[in-house]
Amino acid sequence: MSERPIWDKGGADVDERIMRFLAGEDVRLDQHLLRYDIRASIAHVNGLQRIGILDGKESAALSAALKGLDESVASGQFVLDDRYEDGHSAIEAFLTERLGDAGRKVHTGRSRNDQVLVATRLYLRDQLDRLVAIALDIAEMFLERAAADDRTPMPGYTHLQRAVPSTVGLWCAAFAESFIDIAMLTRSTRGWINTCPLGTAAGYGVNLDLDRQVVSDELGFDRVQVNAMYAQNSRGRFEMAVLHSLHQALLEVRRFAWDLSLFTTEEFGFVRLPERFTTGSSIMPNKRNPDVVELLRASGAVVEGAMAELAAVVALPSGYQRDLQATKEPVIRALMRGLAALEIVPDLVASMEFDRAKMREAITPAMFATDRAIDLAAQGVPFREAYQQVGREIEAMKGLPIDESIAQRASLGGAGRLGLDLLRRRLDEQREDA
Ligand code: ARG
Protein backbone atom coordinates (compact mmCIF):
# COMPACT_ATOMS: atom_id res chain seq x y z
CA MET A 1 0.00 0.00 0.00
CA SER A 2 1.62 3.25 -1.09
CA GLU A 3 -1.29 5.55 -0.17
CA ARG A 4 -1.87 6.39 3.49
CA PRO A 5 -5.04 4.68 4.76
CA ILE A 6 -8.09 6.97 4.80
CA TRP A 7 -8.45 6.45 8.53
CA ASP A 8 -4.95 7.76 9.21
CA LYS A 9 -5.28 10.76 11.55
CA GLY A 10 -1.64 11.61 10.97
CA GLY A 11 1.30 9.49 11.97
CA ALA A 12 -0.61 6.23 12.41
CA ASP A 13 1.69 3.31 13.18
CA VAL A 14 1.11 1.23 10.08
CA ASP A 15 2.84 -2.12 9.71
CA GLU A 16 3.04 -3.22 6.08
CA ARG A 17 2.72 -6.92 6.82
CA ILE A 18 -0.29 -6.45 9.08
CA MET A 19 -1.91 -4.13 6.54
CA ARG A 20 -1.44 -6.79 3.87
CA PHE A 21 -3.11 -9.34 6.13
CA LEU A 22 -6.05 -7.01 6.82
CA ALA A 23 -6.56 -6.25 3.16
CA GLY A 24 -6.17 -9.85 2.04
CA GLU A 25 -7.64 -10.20 -1.41
CA ASP A 26 -9.99 -7.32 -0.72
CA VAL A 27 -8.64 -4.91 -3.32
CA ARG A 28 -8.76 -7.52 -6.07
CA LEU A 29 -12.33 -8.44 -5.09
CA ASP A 30 -13.39 -4.80 -4.93
CA GLN A 31 -12.64 -4.62 -8.64
CA HIS A 32 -15.92 -6.56 -9.09
CA LEU A 33 -17.76 -4.02 -6.92
CA LEU A 34 -16.06 -0.81 -7.96
CA ARG A 35 -18.52 0.35 -10.60
CA TYR A 36 -21.41 -0.29 -8.20
CA ASP A 37 -19.56 1.62 -5.52
CA ILE A 38 -19.16 4.53 -7.94
CA ARG A 39 -22.83 4.45 -8.85
CA ALA A 40 -23.86 4.49 -5.20
CA SER A 41 -21.37 7.29 -4.57
CA ILE A 42 -23.09 9.43 -7.19
CA ALA A 43 -26.43 8.86 -5.45
CA HIS A 44 -24.81 9.71 -2.12
CA VAL A 45 -23.39 12.95 -3.57
CA ASN A 46 -26.83 13.92 -4.89
CA GLY A 47 -28.26 13.17 -1.46
CA LEU A 48 -25.66 15.39 0.23
CA GLN A 49 -26.49 18.25 -2.09
CA ARG A 50 -30.17 17.87 -1.27
CA ILE A 51 -29.52 18.55 2.40
CA GLY A 52 -27.01 21.34 1.77
CA ILE A 53 -23.79 19.55 2.70
CA LEU A 54 -22.50 20.02 -0.84
CA ASP A 55 -23.30 23.00 -3.01
CA GLY A 56 -24.42 22.60 -6.63
CA LYS A 57 -20.95 23.17 -8.01
CA GLU A 58 -19.30 20.64 -5.74
CA SER A 59 -21.89 18.01 -6.39
CA ALA A 60 -21.73 18.54 -10.17
CA ALA A 61 -17.93 18.27 -10.10
CA LEU A 62 -18.04 15.13 -7.95
CA SER A 63 -20.65 13.47 -10.16
CA ALA A 64 -18.70 14.29 -13.30
CA ALA A 65 -15.47 12.95 -11.80
CA LEU A 66 -17.23 9.78 -10.63
CA LYS A 67 -18.70 9.25 -14.10
CA GLY A 68 -15.26 9.71 -15.60
CA LEU A 69 -13.84 7.19 -13.16
CA ASP A 70 -16.61 4.78 -14.03
CA GLU A 71 -15.70 5.00 -17.70
CA SER A 72 -12.03 4.41 -16.94
CA VAL A 73 -12.95 1.33 -14.92
CA ALA A 74 -15.24 0.07 -17.68
CA SER A 75 -12.57 0.50 -20.33
CA GLY A 76 -9.92 -1.13 -18.15
CA GLN A 77 -7.86 2.07 -17.89
CA PHE A 78 -8.32 2.24 -14.13
CA VAL A 79 -7.45 -0.96 -12.29
CA LEU A 80 -7.56 -1.28 -8.52
CA ASP A 81 -4.29 -2.43 -7.07
CA ASP A 82 -2.63 -2.60 -3.71
CA ARG A 83 -1.74 1.07 -3.65
CA TYR A 84 -5.11 1.25 -1.87
CA GLU A 85 -6.57 -0.46 1.15
CA ASP A 86 -9.82 -1.09 -0.71
CA GLY A 87 -12.08 0.23 -3.46
CA HIS A 88 -13.69 2.78 -1.17
CA SER A 89 -10.35 4.37 -0.36
CA ALA A 90 -9.46 4.39 -4.04
CA ILE A 91 -12.59 6.34 -4.94
CA GLU A 92 -11.97 8.93 -2.23
CA ALA A 93 -8.30 9.26 -3.15
CA PHE A 94 -9.23 9.76 -6.79
CA LEU A 95 -11.79 12.45 -5.99
CA THR A 96 -9.48 14.25 -3.59
CA GLU A 97 -6.66 14.25 -6.09
CA ARG A 98 -8.95 15.69 -8.77
CA LEU A 99 -11.11 18.05 -6.75
CA GLY A 100 -9.36 18.80 -3.45
CA ASP A 101 -11.84 19.74 -0.74
CA ALA A 102 -14.93 18.55 -2.62
CA GLY A 103 -13.30 15.10 -2.70
CA ARG A 104 -12.56 15.34 1.01
CA LYS A 105 -16.27 16.01 1.65
CA VAL A 106 -17.66 12.98 -0.16
CA HIS A 107 -17.53 10.67 2.85
CA THR A 108 -19.78 12.95 4.95
CA GLY A 109 -22.56 10.89 6.49
CA ARG A 110 -21.41 7.51 5.25
CA SER A 111 -19.13 4.78 6.46
CA ARG A 112 -17.29 2.14 4.50
CA ASN A 113 -19.66 -0.20 6.30
CA ASP A 114 -22.75 1.01 4.43
CA GLN A 115 -20.69 1.77 1.36
CA VAL A 116 -19.61 -1.86 0.93
CA LEU A 117 -23.14 -3.02 1.72
CA VAL A 118 -24.75 -0.92 -0.98
CA ALA A 119 -22.12 -1.75 -3.61
CA THR A 120 -22.44 -5.46 -2.86
CA ARG A 121 -26.19 -5.29 -3.03
CA LEU A 122 -26.19 -3.63 -6.44
CA TYR A 123 -23.73 -6.28 -7.60
CA LEU A 124 -25.88 -9.11 -6.25
CA ARG A 125 -28.95 -7.64 -7.91
CA ASP A 126 -27.19 -7.68 -11.29
CA GLN A 127 -26.02 -11.25 -10.79
CA LEU A 128 -29.57 -12.31 -9.95
CA ASP A 129 -30.79 -10.65 -13.15
CA ARG A 130 -28.17 -12.64 -15.04
CA LEU A 131 -29.30 -15.81 -13.32
CA VAL A 132 -32.95 -15.17 -14.27
CA ALA A 133 -31.96 -14.57 -17.90
CA ILE A 134 -29.84 -17.73 -18.09
CA ALA A 135 -32.46 -19.85 -16.34
CA LEU A 136 -35.05 -18.70 -18.88
CA ASP A 137 -32.69 -19.43 -21.79
CA ILE A 138 -32.11 -22.91 -20.44
CA ALA A 139 -35.84 -23.44 -19.95
CA GLU A 140 -36.47 -22.23 -23.50
CA MET A 141 -34.01 -24.68 -24.97
CA PHE A 142 -35.36 -27.63 -23.00
CA LEU A 143 -38.90 -26.69 -23.98
CA GLU A 144 -37.93 -26.63 -27.66
CA ARG A 145 -36.28 -30.02 -27.38
CA ALA A 146 -39.33 -31.36 -25.53
CA ALA A 147 -41.65 -30.14 -28.29
CA ALA A 148 -39.47 -31.56 -31.06
CA ASP A 149 -39.36 -35.03 -29.47
CA ASP A 150 -42.56 -34.94 -27.45
CA ARG A 151 -43.51 -38.53 -28.32
CA THR A 152 -40.06 -40.02 -28.90
CA PRO A 153 -39.91 -43.12 -26.67
CA MET A 154 -37.26 -43.33 -23.99
CA PRO A 155 -37.23 -45.77 -21.08
CA GLY A 156 -38.38 -44.30 -17.79
CA TYR A 157 -36.34 -45.30 -14.75
CA THR A 158 -36.86 -45.38 -11.02
CA HIS A 159 -33.94 -46.51 -8.85
CA LEU A 160 -32.08 -46.54 -12.19
CA GLN A 161 -34.07 -49.71 -13.01
CA ARG A 162 -36.28 -49.85 -16.08
CA ALA A 163 -39.76 -48.85 -14.95
CA VAL A 164 -42.25 -47.62 -17.58
CA PRO A 165 -42.09 -46.39 -21.17
CA SER A 166 -41.44 -42.67 -21.20
CA THR A 167 -40.34 -40.01 -23.69
CA VAL A 168 -37.59 -37.59 -24.50
CA GLY A 169 -40.35 -34.98 -24.20
CA LEU A 170 -41.03 -35.84 -20.57
CA TRP A 171 -37.34 -35.80 -19.68
CA CYS A 172 -36.70 -32.44 -21.36
CA ALA A 173 -39.90 -30.79 -20.11
CA ALA A 174 -38.96 -31.74 -16.54
CA PHE A 175 -35.91 -29.51 -16.82
CA ALA A 176 -37.86 -26.80 -18.64
CA GLU A 177 -40.38 -26.50 -15.82
CA SER A 178 -37.67 -26.67 -13.21
CA PHE A 179 -35.75 -23.77 -14.74
CA ILE A 180 -38.92 -21.69 -15.08
CA ASP A 181 -39.46 -22.21 -11.35
CA ILE A 182 -35.84 -21.35 -10.64
CA ALA A 183 -36.31 -18.07 -12.52
CA MET A 184 -39.34 -17.39 -10.30
CA LEU A 185 -37.39 -18.21 -7.15
CA THR A 186 -34.52 -16.02 -8.26
CA ARG A 187 -36.81 -13.08 -8.82
CA SER A 188 -38.33 -13.45 -5.42
CA THR A 189 -34.80 -13.45 -3.98
CA ARG A 190 -34.12 -10.30 -5.96
CA GLY A 191 -37.18 -8.71 -4.37
CA TRP A 192 -36.05 -9.85 -0.93
CA ILE A 193 -32.62 -8.28 -1.16
CA ASN A 194 -33.62 -5.17 -3.15
CA THR A 195 -33.50 -2.92 -0.14
CA CYS A 196 -31.24 0.10 0.33
CA PRO A 197 -28.66 0.10 3.14
CA LEU A 198 -26.99 3.37 2.12
CA GLY A 199 -27.41 6.05 4.78
CA THR A 200 -27.07 3.67 7.73
CA ALA A 201 -23.37 4.57 8.03
CA ALA A 202 -21.46 2.46 10.52
CA GLY A 203 -24.64 0.80 11.75
CA TYR A 204 -26.06 3.54 13.99
CA GLY A 205 -27.29 6.26 11.61
CA VAL A 206 -25.85 9.79 11.56
CA ASN A 207 -26.68 13.23 12.94
CA LEU A 208 -27.83 14.46 9.53
CA ASP A 209 -31.29 14.40 8.00
CA LEU A 210 -30.26 12.24 5.03
CA ASP A 211 -33.04 11.77 2.49
CA ARG A 212 -32.66 8.02 2.35
CA GLN A 213 -35.80 7.42 0.32
CA VAL A 214 -34.65 9.57 -2.58
CA VAL A 215 -31.23 7.92 -2.59
CA SER A 216 -32.88 4.51 -2.52
CA ASP A 217 -35.16 5.45 -5.44
CA GLU A 218 -32.24 6.78 -7.45
CA LEU A 219 -30.51 3.41 -7.10
CA GLY A 220 -33.62 1.48 -8.11
CA PHE A 221 -34.23 -0.20 -4.75
CA ASP A 222 -37.78 -1.29 -3.85
CA ARG A 223 -37.48 -0.07 -0.29
CA VAL A 224 -35.19 1.46 2.31
CA GLN A 225 -33.57 -0.96 4.73
CA VAL A 226 -34.68 1.02 7.74
CA ASN A 227 -32.79 -0.17 10.78
CA ALA A 228 -29.12 0.79 10.65
CA MET A 229 -27.97 -2.14 12.73
CA TYR A 230 -30.09 -4.64 10.81
CA ALA A 231 -28.42 -3.41 7.61
CA GLN A 232 -25.08 -4.63 8.96
CA ASN A 233 -26.64 -7.79 10.36
CA SER A 234 -27.98 -8.72 6.93
CA ARG A 235 -24.53 -8.75 5.36
CA GLY A 236 -23.58 -12.24 4.28
CA ARG A 237 -27.10 -13.50 4.89
CA PHE A 238 -28.42 -11.79 1.76
CA GLU A 239 -25.44 -13.26 -0.06
CA MET A 240 -26.50 -16.68 1.19
CA ALA A 241 -30.00 -16.18 -0.23
CA VAL A 242 -28.47 -15.31 -3.59
CA LEU A 243 -26.33 -18.43 -3.54
CA HIS A 244 -29.36 -20.46 -2.57
CA SER A 245 -31.04 -19.54 -5.88
CA LEU A 246 -27.85 -20.25 -7.77
CA HIS A 247 -27.53 -23.55 -5.96
CA GLN A 248 -31.01 -24.62 -7.03
CA ALA A 249 -29.99 -24.04 -10.64
CA LEU A 250 -26.76 -25.97 -10.23
CA LEU A 251 -28.50 -28.88 -8.53
CA GLU A 252 -30.57 -29.26 -11.67
CA VAL A 253 -27.51 -28.90 -13.86
CA ARG A 254 -25.90 -31.64 -11.82
CA ARG A 255 -28.87 -33.93 -12.32
CA PHE A 256 -28.88 -33.23 -16.06
CA ALA A 257 -25.12 -33.82 -16.23
CA TRP A 258 -25.55 -37.08 -14.38
CA ASP A 259 -28.24 -38.21 -16.81
CA LEU A 260 -26.05 -37.25 -19.74
CA SER A 261 -23.01 -39.01 -18.39
CA LEU A 262 -25.11 -42.18 -18.18
CA PHE A 263 -26.98 -41.73 -21.45
CA THR A 264 -23.78 -41.11 -23.42
CA THR A 265 -22.15 -44.38 -22.28
CA GLU A 266 -21.99 -47.26 -24.73
CA GLU A 267 -24.15 -49.20 -22.29
CA PHE A 268 -27.06 -46.78 -22.67
CA GLY A 269 -26.16 -45.10 -25.94
CA PHE A 270 -29.21 -42.83 -25.99
CA VAL A 271 -27.41 -39.54 -26.51
CA ARG A 272 -24.41 -38.42 -28.50
CA LEU A 273 -22.64 -35.13 -27.89
CA PRO A 274 -20.73 -33.16 -30.52
CA GLU A 275 -16.99 -33.43 -30.28
CA ARG A 276 -16.55 -29.95 -28.83
CA PHE A 277 -18.14 -31.11 -25.58
CA THR A 278 -15.68 -33.98 -25.20
CA THR A 279 -11.96 -34.44 -24.84
CA GLY A 280 -9.61 -37.29 -25.68
CA SER A 281 -7.53 -39.38 -23.32
CA SER A 282 -3.78 -38.85 -23.09
CA ILE A 283 -3.17 -42.62 -22.94
CA MET A 284 -6.22 -44.42 -24.31
CA PRO A 285 -6.50 -43.65 -28.02
CA ASN A 286 -10.01 -45.06 -28.21
CA LYS A 287 -11.59 -42.58 -25.81
CA ARG A 288 -13.83 -39.54 -26.04
CA ASN A 289 -14.70 -38.34 -22.57
CA PRO A 290 -17.63 -36.12 -21.56
CA ASP A 291 -15.42 -33.77 -19.50
CA VAL A 292 -17.64 -30.73 -20.00
CA VAL A 293 -20.59 -32.57 -18.54
CA GLU A 294 -18.49 -33.74 -15.62
CA LEU A 295 -17.18 -30.28 -14.80
CA LEU A 296 -20.73 -28.95 -14.99
CA ARG A 297 -21.62 -31.59 -12.44
CA ALA A 298 -18.78 -30.42 -10.20
CA SER A 299 -19.71 -26.74 -10.31
CA GLY A 300 -22.42 -27.15 -7.69
CA ALA A 301 -19.70 -28.07 -5.21
CA VAL A 302 -18.17 -24.60 -5.47
CA VAL A 303 -21.47 -23.04 -4.47
CA GLU A 304 -22.03 -25.51 -1.66
CA GLY A 305 -18.58 -24.76 -0.28
CA ALA A 306 -19.22 -21.04 -0.50
CA MET A 307 -22.56 -21.35 1.28
CA ALA A 308 -20.96 -23.26 4.13
CA GLU A 309 -18.21 -20.65 4.34
CA LEU A 310 -20.72 -17.79 4.47
CA ALA A 311 -22.77 -19.49 7.16
CA ALA A 312 -19.63 -19.88 9.25
CA VAL A 313 -18.57 -16.25 8.77
CA VAL A 314 -21.92 -14.66 9.62
CA ALA A 315 -22.14 -16.35 13.01
CA LEU A 316 -21.40 -13.02 14.73
CA PRO A 317 -22.77 -10.59 17.29
CA SER A 318 -24.77 -7.54 16.15
CA GLY A 319 -23.21 -4.78 14.10
CA TYR A 320 -20.22 -4.55 11.81
CA GLN A 321 -17.27 -6.83 12.43
CA ARG A 322 -14.31 -7.05 10.09
CA ASP A 323 -15.07 -10.76 9.74
CA LEU A 324 -17.74 -9.66 7.30
CA GLN A 325 -15.11 -8.77 4.75
CA ALA A 326 -14.59 -12.53 4.44
CA THR A 327 -18.06 -12.87 2.87
CA LYS A 328 -16.88 -11.24 -0.32
CA GLU A 329 -14.54 -13.87 -1.70
CA PRO A 330 -16.84 -16.92 -1.47
CA VAL A 331 -19.81 -15.12 -2.92
CA ILE A 332 -17.91 -13.69 -5.89
CA ARG A 333 -16.15 -16.99 -6.57
CA ALA A 334 -19.42 -18.95 -6.44
CA LEU A 335 -21.25 -16.52 -8.70
CA MET A 336 -18.47 -16.44 -11.26
CA ARG A 337 -18.10 -20.20 -11.43
CA GLY A 338 -21.80 -20.96 -11.16
CA LEU A 339 -22.97 -18.51 -13.80
CA ALA A 340 -20.18 -19.52 -16.18
CA ALA A 341 -21.32 -23.14 -15.85
CA LEU A 342 -24.94 -22.25 -16.50
CA GLU A 343 -24.01 -20.28 -19.58
CA ILE A 344 -22.71 -23.47 -21.23
CA VAL A 345 -25.99 -25.31 -20.73
CA PRO A 346 -28.26 -23.93 -23.50
CA ASP A 347 -25.74 -24.90 -26.19
CA LEU A 348 -25.30 -28.33 -24.62
CA VAL A 349 -29.06 -28.91 -24.56
CA ALA A 350 -29.39 -27.76 -28.17
CA SER A 351 -26.59 -30.07 -29.28
CA MET A 352 -27.76 -33.43 -27.91
CA GLU A 353 -28.35 -36.01 -30.62
CA PHE A 354 -30.73 -38.80 -29.73
CA ASP A 355 -30.38 -42.38 -30.90
CA ARG A 356 -34.09 -43.06 -31.24
CA ALA A 357 -33.69 -46.73 -32.19
CA LYS A 358 -31.50 -47.43 -29.14
CA MET A 359 -34.08 -45.89 -26.81
CA ARG A 360 -36.92 -47.85 -28.38
CA GLU A 361 -34.94 -51.11 -28.05
CA ALA A 362 -34.38 -50.44 -24.37
CA ILE A 363 -38.12 -50.50 -23.68
CA THR A 364 -38.86 -54.11 -22.77
CA PRO A 365 -42.28 -55.81 -22.56
CA ALA A 366 -42.19 -56.01 -18.77
CA MET A 367 -42.25 -52.22 -18.68
CA PHE A 368 -45.88 -52.29 -19.76
CA ALA A 369 -46.94 -54.11 -16.58
CA THR A 370 -48.08 -50.93 -14.82
CA ASP A 371 -50.21 -49.86 -17.80
CA ARG A 372 -51.73 -53.35 -17.93
CA ALA A 373 -52.62 -53.39 -14.24
CA ILE A 374 -54.21 -49.93 -14.42
CA ASP A 375 -56.16 -51.00 -17.54
CA LEU A 376 -57.60 -53.96 -15.63
CA ALA A 377 -58.42 -51.71 -12.68
CA ALA A 378 -60.22 -49.28 -14.98
CA GLN A 379 -62.36 -52.25 -16.11
CA GLY A 380 -63.41 -52.80 -12.49
CA VAL A 381 -60.84 -55.29 -11.13
CA PRO A 382 -59.67 -53.98 -7.73
CA PHE A 383 -56.21 -52.55 -8.33
CA ARG A 384 -54.38 -54.78 -5.84
CA GLU A 385 -55.83 -57.88 -7.52
CA ALA A 386 -54.92 -56.56 -10.97
CA TYR A 387 -51.40 -55.85 -9.71
CA GLN A 388 -50.98 -59.42 -8.52
CA GLN A 389 -52.48 -60.90 -11.67
CA VAL A 390 -50.16 -58.89 -13.93
CA GLY A 391 -47.28 -59.77 -11.61
CA ARG A 392 -47.84 -63.44 -12.33
CA GLU A 393 -47.94 -62.81 -16.09
CA ILE A 394 -44.77 -60.70 -16.37
CA GLU A 395 -42.60 -63.43 -17.89
CA ALA A 396 -45.11 -64.11 -20.65
CA MET A 397 -45.91 -60.45 -21.36
CA LYS A 398 -45.71 -59.06 -24.82
CA GLY A 399 -45.64 -55.31 -25.06
CA LEU A 400 -48.36 -53.04 -26.30
CA PRO A 401 -47.18 -50.90 -29.13
CA ILE A 402 -44.99 -48.34 -27.39
CA ASP A 403 -46.57 -45.32 -29.02
CA GLU A 404 -50.06 -46.36 -27.99
CA SER A 405 -48.95 -46.89 -24.43
CA ILE A 406 -47.45 -43.41 -24.33
CA ALA A 407 -50.50 -41.82 -25.91
CA GLN A 408 -52.65 -43.38 -23.20
CA ARG A 409 -50.58 -41.80 -20.39
CA ALA A 410 -53.04 -38.92 -20.53
CA SER A 411 -52.97 -37.56 -16.98
CA LEU A 412 -51.65 -33.98 -17.03
CA GLY A 413 -47.87 -34.01 -16.81
CA GLY A 414 -47.60 -37.63 -17.96
CA ALA A 415 -45.79 -38.68 -21.14
CA GLY A 416 -49.01 -38.54 -23.20
CA ARG A 417 -49.94 -35.04 -22.05
CA LEU A 418 -46.89 -33.01 -21.31
CA GLY A 419 -48.72 -29.71 -20.84
CA LEU A 420 -46.12 -27.93 -22.94
CA ASP A 421 -48.64 -25.18 -23.70
CA LEU A 422 -48.92 -24.45 -19.97
CA LEU A 423 -45.16 -24.34 -19.60
CA ARG A 424 -44.85 -22.14 -22.68
CA ARG A 425 -47.28 -19.65 -21.16
CA ARG A 426 -45.42 -19.58 -17.84
CA LEU A 427 -42.12 -19.09 -19.59
CA ASP A 428 -43.49 -16.23 -21.69
CA GLU A 429 -44.93 -14.60 -18.58
CA GLN A 430 -41.56 -14.77 -16.88
CA ARG A 431 -39.90 -13.23 -19.92
CA GLU A 432 -42.42 -10.40 -20.06
CA ASP A 433 -41.91 -9.60 -16.40
CA ALA A 434 -38.15 -9.71 -16.75
N1 ARG B 1 -13.24 -3.97 3.23
C2 ARG B 1 -14.17 -3.77 4.28
C3 ARG B 1 -15.29 -4.83 4.21
O4 ARG B 1 -15.45 -5.42 3.17
C5 ARG B 1 -14.81 -2.43 4.15
C6 ARG B 1 -15.39 -1.93 5.41
C7 ARG B 1 -14.30 -1.57 6.35
N8 ARG B 1 -14.88 -1.06 7.56
C9 ARG B 1 -14.18 -1.00 8.70
N10 ARG B 1 -14.79 -0.53 9.72
N11 ARG B 1 -12.94 -1.38 8.78
O12 ARG B 1 -15.94 -5.08 5.19
Instruction: Identify the three-state secondary structure at position 289.
Output: strand
Are the C-beta atoms of 152 and 360 separated by less than 8 Å?
no
- Active-site annotation, residues: 159, 281
Do the domains 16-108 and 113-148+169-361 sit in the same CATH topology, yes or no? no
pLDDT at position 1, please?
65
Q: Please state, in angstroms and rounded to a whole number, the distance separating the CA atoms of residues 210 and 125.
A: 24
Residue range 16-108 forms a domain whose CATH class is mainly alpha
For ligand 1, atom 4: residue with the closest CA = 325
Nearest to 108 by CA among 151, 52, 152: 52
Output the furthest CA–CA distance in the chain (Å, rounded): 93
Instruction: Identify the three-state secondary structure at position 235.
Output: coil
- pTM of this structure: 0.93
Ligand 1 pocket: which of 18, 19, 86, 200 to mutate (most atoms within 8 A of CB): 86
For ligand 1, atom 10: residue with the closest CA = 113
Q: What are the Cα distances from residue 24, in Å, to 16, 17, 19, 29, 81?
A: 12, 11, 8, 10, 12
How many Å lie between the centroid of ligand 1 and the Cα of residue 113? 6
Task: Enumerate residues 6+ apart whose C-beta is below 8 A from 319.
Answer: 203, 229, 232, 233
409 CB near ligand 1 (under 6 Å)? no
Q: Please state, in angstroms and rounded to a whole number, the distance separating the CA atoms of residues 216 and 220.
A: 6
How many Å lie between the centroid of ligand 1 and the Cα of residue 322? 6
pLDDT at position 431, please?
92
Nearest to 238 by CA among 200, 286, 277, 197: 197
List per-block mean pLDDT (blocks of 10 residues) for the chain, which spans 434 residues.
74 81 85 97 98 97 98 95 88 96 96 98 98 98 98 97 96 98 98 98 97 98 98 98 98 98 96 90 79 95 98 98 97 98 98 97 90 90 91 79 91 97 97 83
Q: Please state, in angstroms and rounded to a whole number, the distance separating the CA atoms of residues 422 and 428.
A: 10
Q: What are the domain boundaries of the chain?
A: 16-108, 113-148+169-361, 365-433
For ligand 1, atom 5: residue with the closest CA = 112
Task: Enumerate residues 6+ apart whose C-beta is below 8 A from 58.
Answer: 49, 99, 102, 105
pLDDT at position 395, please?
79
26 CB near ligand 1 (under 6 Å)? yes
* Protein fold of 113-148+169-361: Fumarase C; Chain A, domain 2 (1.20.200)
Q: What are the Cα distances from residue 108, in Å, to 22, 62, 81, 103?
A: 24, 13, 25, 10
Are the C-beta atoms of 290 and 277 separated by less than 8 Å?
yes
How many Å lie between the centroid of ligand 1 and the Cα of residue 400? 69
Number of C-beta neighbours around residue 263 at 10 A: 23
Q: Please state, in angstroms and rounded to a whole number, the distance separating the CA atoms of residues 40 and 42.
A: 5
7 CB near ligand 1 (under 6 Å)? no
Nearest to 307 by CA among 337, 349, 265, 269: 337
325 CB near ligand 1 (under 6 Å)? yes
How many Å lie between the centroid of ligand 1 and the Cα of residue 321? 8
Nearest to 415 by CA among 180, 157, 151: 151
